[in-house]
Amino acid sequence: MQPSEPRRGRVRLGALLWTERTSWPAFLQAAVAVDRAGFDSIWCSDHLFAATGDPLDPCFEAWTALAAIAAATQRATVGLLVGAVALRNPGLVAKQAVTLDHVSGGRSVLGLGSGWLEREYTAHGLAWETSAAARVDRLAEAVTIIRRLLQGAVVDEMGAYYRFQEARHAPQPLQDSIPILIGGEGRRKTLRVVAEHADMWNARGSVDALREADAALREHCAMIGRDPDAIERLTNRWVVVRATRDAAERELSASLAGHGIQQYDEGIVALGPAHQVAEHLNETMDAGFRHLVWSFRHPFDRLTIEAAAEVRAALDAG
């Protein structure tokens, strides 16, 4: 099957704020700066241990951080990129998502994924499925339960992973429907879950990898009769805006060293003056991913945050 050409649409910019190796004041100030700079969405990483470098380095809990961000900001949507389902009971997640929706005045997005950092599960006595396929099965069961709770349904569930008895939640969200985002690129199972359940999809990788994953998602959508363009596509990029590419590379190198990151995919990095960054991001948009999430780690790069409007203007012009 030949995939249709994805619609381009208006660019949306997001900011992923990593909760590792930062003080709380610096983290919250970065979130407020991102909101004031006009970003459309703010996301938090979701880990109990640091995901890079020394796992025992400081790391804040993500739902708590999101609630504080929601109360301190005005316009951007807020969510996890992404919440690992096995860290929390899906009933609790549904309740947290609705609470966040009220705290934020109707700006919450529920991001979900199957999880990957084994140590944080085993260290805390949480269920860990060694099979990636089983973790995706757990995700599919959890998202079904969460969706029903968010819709006000009474949930009686005797599934493979969860047991619910006459569970029903109040209050309901302020939004008519909290968007559910699912992250992952697994061709056979994860993208099937995306096709069946997601309002939004987060995928990672180079432009070529994104095109391949998008084609696979479109095949899953065709099999179940869903319009693939009804699913909003997001992808992460490490963006550093400076007057020269050399200066941007120095900033990126310092950030990588500070967080113990020794290897990275150069295909997801956009560096240099605003127009050069826009050229890279334009290729990503042409692949159908128009919600571009910029990753920020402590010390949060204020120069790049403040350059968002200039990059957005270049993208809209392109």
Closest by Cα among 89, 95, 84 to 121 = 84
pLDDT tens for 233-275 read 999 999 999 999 999 999 999 999 999 998 888 889 999 999 9
Q: Is residue 207 within 8 Å of 266, Cβ to Cβ?
A: no
Residue 4 lies in a domain: no
Which CATH number do you get for residue 265?
Answer: 3.20.20.30
Enclosing H/E stretch for 316: helix 308-317
Closest by Cα among 139, 279, 118 to 197 = 139
| DSSP label of 83 | E
Residue 237 lies in a domain: yes
Residue 3 lies in a domain: no
Predicted local distance difference test score (pLDDT) of residue 266? 86
Map residue 82 onto helix, strand or coil: coil
> What is the number of residues in the chain?
318
Q: What single-letter amino acid sits at 53?
A: G
Predicted local distance difference test score (pLDDT) of residue 247? 97
Predicted local distance difference test score (pLDDT) of residue 8? 47
pLDDT tens for 32-57 read 999 999 999 999 999 999 999 999 99
Domain hosting residue 143, numbered range: 12-317
Predicted local distance difference test score (pLDDT) of residue 98? 98
Q: Is residue 127 within 8 Å of 137, Cβ to Cβ?
A: no
Residue 6 lies in a domain: no
The count of structural domains within the chain is 1
Distance of CA 240 to the CA centre of its chain: 19
The answer to whether residue 94 scores a pLDDT higher than 80 is yes
CA-to-CA dists, residue 10 to 140, 274, 291, 312, 314, angstroms: 30, 18, 9, 10, 12
The answer to whether residue 78 scores a pLDDT higher than 80 is yes
3-state secondary structure 94-161: HHHHHHHHHHCCCCECEEEECCCCHHHHHHCCCCCCCCHHHHHHHHHHHHHHHHHHHCCCCEEEECCC
Residue 1 lies in a domain: no
Quick one: tokens of 279? 């050229």
Quick one: tokens of 26? 């610096």
DSSP annotation string for 164-181: EEEE--SSPPSSSS--EE
Enclosing H/E stretch for 195: helix 190-197
Residue 7 lies in a domain: no
Q: What single-letter amino acid sits at 247?
A: A
Predicted local distance difference test score (pLDDT) of residue 9? 58
Q: What single-letter amino acid sits at 271?
A: L
pTM: 0.94
Residue 148 lies in a domain: yes
Predicted local distance difference test score (pLDDT) of residue 5? 42
